[in-house]
Amino acid sequence: MAVLTHLEAIRQGIWEEMERDPSVFLLGEDIGAYGGAFKVTEGMLEKFGGDRVIDTPISESAIVGAATGAALMGMRPVVEMQFMDFIACGFDQIVNMAAKIHYRWGAAVPLVIRGPSGAGVHGGPFHSQSNEMWFVHTPGLKVVVPATPYDAKGLIKAAIRDDNPVIFYEHKFLYRRIKDEVPDGDYVVPIGKARVARAGTDISVITYGAMVWTALEAASQLEPEGISIEVVDLRSLLPYDEEAVLASVRRCNKVILLHEDTRIGGFAGELAATISEKAFQDLDGPILRVTAPDTPVPFSPPLEKYFLPNAQKVAEAARRLAAY
Cβ atoms 93, 64 nearer than 8 A: yes
Residue 282 near other proteins by CB under 8 A: yes
Candidate ranges 20-28, 109-117, 210-218, 278-286; the one touching other proteins (CB under 8 A): 278-286
Residue 127 annotated as catalytic: yes
Gyration radius of the chain's alpha carbons: 19
Cβ atoms 104, 147 nearer than 8 A: no
Among 88, 89, 196, 283, binds other proteins (CB under 8 A): 283
Candidate ranges 107-115, 136-144, 167-175, 280-288; the one touching other proteins (CB under 8 A): 280-288
Candidate ranges 1-9, 62-70, 275-283, 288-296; the one touching other proteins (CB under 8 A): 275-283
CA-to-CA dists, residue 185 to 2, 62, 153, 212, angstroms: 11, 34, 10, 26
Half-sphere exposure of 302 (CA within 13 A, CB side): 0
Cβ atoms 210, 260 nearer than 8 A: yes
Residue 253 near other proteins by CB under 8 A: yes
User: Where do the DSSP E strands lie in 49-202?
Assistant: 53-55, 76-80, 112-117, 142-144, 166-171, 179-182, 195-198
Cβ atoms 87, 94 nearer than 8 A: yes
Residue 226 near other proteins by CB under 8 A: no
Q: What is the per-residue binding string for other proteins in 166-195, x denoting contact by CB under 8 A?
A: ------------------------------
What residues have CB less than 8 Å from 238, skipping those under 6 apart?
135, 136, 141, 142, 143
Residue 324 near other proteins by CB under 8 A: yes
The nearer residue to other proteins, 189 or 288, going by C-beta atoms, is 288
The nearer residue to other proteins, 111 or 279, going by C-beta atoms, is 279
Among 19, 284, 294, 316, binds other proteins (CB under 8 A): 284
The nearer residue to other proteins, 39 or 319, going by C-beta atoms, is 319
Per annotation, catalytic residue among 6, 122, 127, 259? 127
Among 57, 73, 185, 281, binds other proteins (CB under 8 A): 281
Half-sphere exposure of 261 (CA within 13 A, CB side): 23
Among 51, 104, 226, 280, binds other proteins (CB under 8 A): 280
CB of 197 to other proteins, least distance (A): 23
Strands across the sheet with 288-292, in order? 195-198, 229-233, 203-207, 255-262, 288-292
Give the H/E segment covering residue 256.
strand 255-262
Cβ atoms 228, 200 nearer than 8 A: yes
Residue 285 near other proteins by CB under 8 A: yes
CB of 202 to other proteins, least distance (A): 9
Query: Annotated active-site positions, please?
Result: 127
- Using CB under 8 A as the criterion, which residues of the chain lie in contact with other proteins when the complex forms? 253, 280-285, 323-324
